[in-house]
Amino acid sequence: MKYREDKYGNKLSMLGFGCGQLSGDKKEIERMILTAIDRGINYFDTGYIYKNSEKNLGEVLARSNKRKDVYIATKLPLFFCKNSGDFDKFFYKQLERLGTDYIDYYLMHSVFSFEQWQKFQELGIESWIAEKKKAGLIRQIGFSYHGACDGFLKVLDAYDWEFCMIQYNYYSENHQAGKTGLHAAEKKGLPVMIMGPLLGGKLVGDLPKQGVELFAKADPSLTPADWAFRWLWNQHGVTVVLSGMITTEQTERNLLSVDKFRPLRDEDFAVYDDVTELFRKAYKIYCTGCNYCMPCPMGVNIPGCFAAYNTSYLQGFILGLTAYTTNTAAGMKSKRLCNDCGKCEKICPQFIPIRKTLDKVVRRFEPLPLRLVLAIARRIVAR
């Protein structure tokens, strides 16, 4: 494992374990976590809203007596906090779930604008943070960001932050905080943790065939995931790259990416440019599959529908239509894809106009000649 030292003297693994999907088979979860720790990963990122994640991580660390070997990062769910009393309510629940009496890296979860941060300042969040830090319950304080770059820069200057987390990858270099935000945080000396390095797996599973071939031609020893990680680790401002690993096999593959890392050559940047252009032409909806919009009150698998739409351009219409049929065959409470309630749009970190985008999906997959065929196919899939 390779490490980068933050300004507080902590040596953090360049690959961090994103625990957003840390639910399911507990034996596999334990294998993943212990494999990661044994191979040198020491930064584990979880959150209050991630189903069973904090509890599962805490149980494994307790059973293996590994708590002191790792840094735990978790997040205060600002979107659930209606008053100052909620800060303690969620925080102490997190300590209980994690089985710990302190958090190493604590984030304000999903800050999306300067105005939002101001509202929490008015609720007394700064004095609350100071109290918890003085008591030793929080070691470092930071925030994760999902908004426009100008808002990120204002939030960055609005408080004495000790680290931050941004979404960043070679495809979305200028999306949200982007490289401008990364450089601003680096200038302040802040450790920067990266989420979405593979764009929710899209930069691996959904790359156009020509893009995969370009990477392989440039260096056949590297996978598309290796290329995505390399682009990030090549930047000095990046401290930890988080990967949401869901199997031990995937964990081991990502660990190999760290072992294979070397600085980029001048000719490598042209390869990224060419692959990005191919991907941009085919990737129509900027959905990372984070599932924040779920569950839909209408029973619609929103990320699944968006993935199907993108698949229809990336890998062919028939494959996309098949995926769309599967994602709309079960669970839906109406023949309509959306009842226009708008709940999903309020919490989408990518600010996708979900209702209008679902209309676009319907227009592509449900032209009049196809509707009868789709209705029959859905009934078959739903059985």
Q: Are residues 273 and 171 in the same domain?
A: yes
Asked, for residue 70, whether it belongs to a domain, the answer is yes
Whether residue 309 sits in one domain with residue 236: no
* Tens of each residue's pLDDT in the chain, 383 residues: 999 998 889 999 999 999 998 888 899 999 999 999 999 999 999 999 999 999 999 999 999 999 999 999 999 999 899 999 999 999 999 999 999 999 999 999 989 889 999 999 999 999 999 999 999 999 999 999 988 899 999 999 999 999 999 999 999 898 889 999 999 999 999 999 999 999 888 899 888 889 999 999 999 999 999 999 999 999 999 999 999 998 999 999 999 999 999 999 999 999 999 999 988 887 778 787 787 888 888 888 888 888 888 888 777 788 788 778 777 765 666 667 788 898 888 888 878 899 999 888 888 887 766 666 666 665 665 55
What CATH number does residue 266 fall under?
3.20.20.100
Check whether residue 10 and residue 63 sit in a common domain: yes
Say whether both 67 and 210 belong to one domain.
yes
Instruction: Look at residue 301 in the predicted model and tell me its pLDDT.
Output: 84
Structural domain count, the chain: 2
Those residues with Cβ within 8 angstroms of residue 381's Cβ, 6 or more apart along the chain or in another chain: 325, 326, 329, 330
Q: What is the pLDDT of residue 10?
A: 94
Per the domain annotation, does 109 fall within a domain?
yes
Task: Residue 362: give the domain boundaries.
Answer: 302-382
pLDDT of residue 162: 97
In this predicted structure, what is the pLDDT of residue 375? 65
Say yes or no: 265 and 306 in one domain.
no
One domain for residues 14 and 84: yes
In a domain, 294, yes or no: no
Please tell me whether the overall predicted TM-score, pTM, comes out greater than 0.85 for this model: no
Residues 256 and 118 in one domain: yes
| Number of neighbours of residue 227 by Cβ within 10 angstroms | 26
Domain termination residue (choose one: 217, 249, 280) = 280
Give the separation between CA 243 and CA 19, rounded to whole angstroms: 8
Tell me, letter by letter, the H, E, C secondary structure of the chain.
Answer: CCEEECCCCCEEECEEEECCCCCCCHHHHHHHHHHHHHCCCCEEECCCCCCCHHHHHHHHHHHHCCHHHCEEEEEECHHHCCCCHHHHHHHHHHHHHHCCCCEEEEEEEEECCHHHHHHHHHCCHHHHHHHHHHCCCEEEEEEEECCCHHHHHHHHHHCCCCEEEEECCCCCCCCCCHHHHHHHHHHCCCCEEEECCCCCCHHHHCCCHHHHHHHHHHCCCCCHHHHHHHHHHCCCCCCEEEECCCCHHHHHHHHHHHHHCCCCCHHHHHHHHHHHHHHHHHCCCCCCCCCCCCCCCCCCCHHHHHHHHHHHHHCCHHHHHHHHHHHCCCCCCCCCCCCCCCHHHHHCCCCCCHHHHHHHHHHHHCCHHHHHHHHHHHHHHHC
Is there a domain that residue 112 lies in? yes
- Could you tell me if residue 287 is inside a domain? no
Burial of 326 (C-beta count, 10 Å sphere; 0-12/13-18/19+): middle
Residue 176 lies in a domain: yes
In a domain, 288, yes or no: no
pLDDT, residue 302, reads: 87
The reply to whether 152 and 41 lie within a common domain is: yes
Same domain, 165 and 116: yes
pLDDT attached to residue 225: 96
Quick one: 162 and 240 in the same domain? yes
Q: Are residues 249 and 351 in the same domain?
A: no
Q: Which of 224, 250, 280 corresponds to the end of one domain?
A: 280
Q: Is residue 289 part of a domain?
A: no
Q: Are residues 218 and 367 in the same domain?
A: no
